[in-house]
Each structure stands twice: as C-alpha cells, then as structure tokens.
Amino acid sequence: MGQFTSINGLKVHYQITGSGPCLLTFAPGGFGSVMSKWTAEGGNYAWKQMDGLVALSKHFTTIAYDRREAGLSGGRIEPLSWDLYCEEAMGMLKLLGHSQAYVLGSCMGASVALAFAARHPKSCTGLLLHWPVGGYQWIMRAHGFFQRHFDFVAANGLAGVVARAKDKGKNFWTDPESGPWAGPLSWDAEFQDQFARQDVSCYLEICRQSRDNLFNDTMPSGASGAELMKMDVPAIIMSGADSRHTRSASWTLKELMPKAELWDVFPPDQNGENTLAELVRIKTLAPC
C-alpha cells in the first residue's frame, strides 16, 4: 500500500522504493495509469514477468504513483493536458527532494515522459520510452472513446455517468462511457456530487478541450516534432508492435530525437529479463 500527498490541490497515491539514482515513472494503462501496472499482480507482458517495481528498485530509487484521475488519486473537472500531467510529475519530484531523475514511461505514460522532457529538460537525466503510442489508429481510437462518452451523456445525463462509474469501477480506457473522470467517480462521494451538479454543456466543452489537447495529431503523443528535435538527452526507445503502440511512433521518435536509440528487439521477443537489462542500460548512457 502506498502513501498519499497533495499536489496542486489533488490527492496523489504514490510509492517510493529502492535506492540509487532517482527513476520517475509514468505507468501504462491510458487513463488507468496506476502504479500497480508495474507489478507482477497488475502488470502485463514484461512488467508482469519481471515484477517491474521490485526489479527496478534494485537499480534505482523508484517513484511511482497513480496519475490524477486514476486509481486512488483524486481528480478535478478542468481541461486535461500534458501540461497538467507534467505539473503533477514535477510536484512529485520536488516533494521528494529530487531535482533530476531518469524518466520512464510506458504506453500513454511514454507520452507524459516526452512532455516532461520537453517542459523540464534540466530535470530529465535520461528517457526510457516503452511502447510509445501514436499514429492514425491511436488518435481515432481516442476520439472514438470521447464520442462514446458524449453519446452516453446525451442519453443518460451526468447522474447517469456517476451511476455507471460507480457500478463499473473502471476507467475511461476500459469503459469509455464512464468518461475521463471515471477513476475518482468510482469512489469519491464528494466528487460524485460535484460532478452530477455541473452544467452539462460546460462539461462537454471541457471534454472536447481535453480531447483536443491530448489527441491533436498523428505524431507520437506528448511532444511536437519541434520539441522532439530539441531534446538533448539520451533516450532508449522500446517499440511495441500493435495499432496503438506502433512501430511507426517509435521510428518517428528515433528519427527526430538527437540522442535516441531504438532497441532492435521487438514484440514478441521482448520479455521481462531482456527489457530490464535494456532499462538499466540508461545508466551507462547518462550517468546520474
């Protein structure tokens, strides 16, 4: 069980493990980015095989947390953006007394890692980008999820969203009808009440702004091409190989980031053992 703190007025569920150089982690799972995704119990693929947090904590002081609107962390109805996610991440780093860290992100967490490196370059010692997302099918999937939520709100109202989130107990990525704030809606009674009493039209505009802030083109999410070309930090890219974690997104990052290396092992040949070895290799490229 982790600890709790407050950052920018929101409750954050977090955990610090291990020793050595700091590793700031952004978990996979889309809008269900929770630290349990790094574990044998809650993870998938390499993270499950290596028991990610346990394995990484033998090499780093690992900072893991449930991102806002996910897991046991709180939420606030406002236009979501990479800037907000980076403010939360920097708040975690400062709270724990660190000025720099290696940064690891997986899936949509890799997008947060890219955004963090673009906005806080002096705080990012090295980047580990596992299965970064991007491409046409990725953006269309996200826009489709938002449309499903819009249709559900039109048919059931905001009280219906609260009821569904409480009943399903899922997140926007696994139950799009419940919307981007499904996480805190599933357990926070005060937040549920505030959510249901909103003006519907204002809420839908916030959703549209969130969609367009986060999913605005077919580039790898999190940073623009111009920002990627300015990233003067060693990076290791570990490509996925499906319609969301596209090889094209990984190749784009390799082509644009001056100090990026693309691991020449692709799924299904990636596993817990060789992925861990590649992650730890960042310490040789960017000594902390």
Tens-place pLDDT, residues 116-147: 999 999 999 999 999 999 999 999 999 999 99
Q: What is the pLDDT of residue 1?
A: 67
Under 8 Å between Cβ of 34 and 64: no
Average pLDDT on 102-114 reads: 98
pLDDT value at 72 more than 80: yes
pLDDT value at 95 more than 90: no
Q: What is the pLDDT of residue 2?
A: 84
Residue-range domain boundaries for the chain:
3-135+222-285, 137-214
Q: What is the pLDDT of residue 286?
A: 80
Q: pLDDT band at residue 212, thresholds of 50, 70 and 90?
A: very high
278: number of CA atoms within 13 Å, CB side? Answer: 25
Residue whose C-alpha is closest to residue 87's, from 129, 123, 49: 123
Q: CA 13 to CA 23: how far, in whole Å?
A: 17
Average pLDDT on 58-62 reads: 97
Average pLDDT on 89-108 reads: 94
Cα-Cα-Cα-Cα dihedral sign, residues 232, 219, 105, 94: positive
Q: pLDDT band at residue 81, thresholds of 50, 70 and 90?
A: very high
Structure pTM?
0.96
Under 8 Å between Cβ of 132 and 111: yes
**Cis (ω within 30 of 0) for the bond into 268?**
yes
Q: CA 248 to CA 242: how far, in whole Å?
A: 10
- Tell me how crowded residue 182 is: count the other CB atoms within 10 A of its CB: 29
Contacts of 50 (CB under 8 A, 6+ apart): 272, 273, 275, 276
For residue 10, the 8-state DSSP code is E
Longest dimension (CA), the chain: 55
Average pLDDT on 148-175 reads: 97
The CATH number given to 3-135+222-285 is 3.40.50.1820
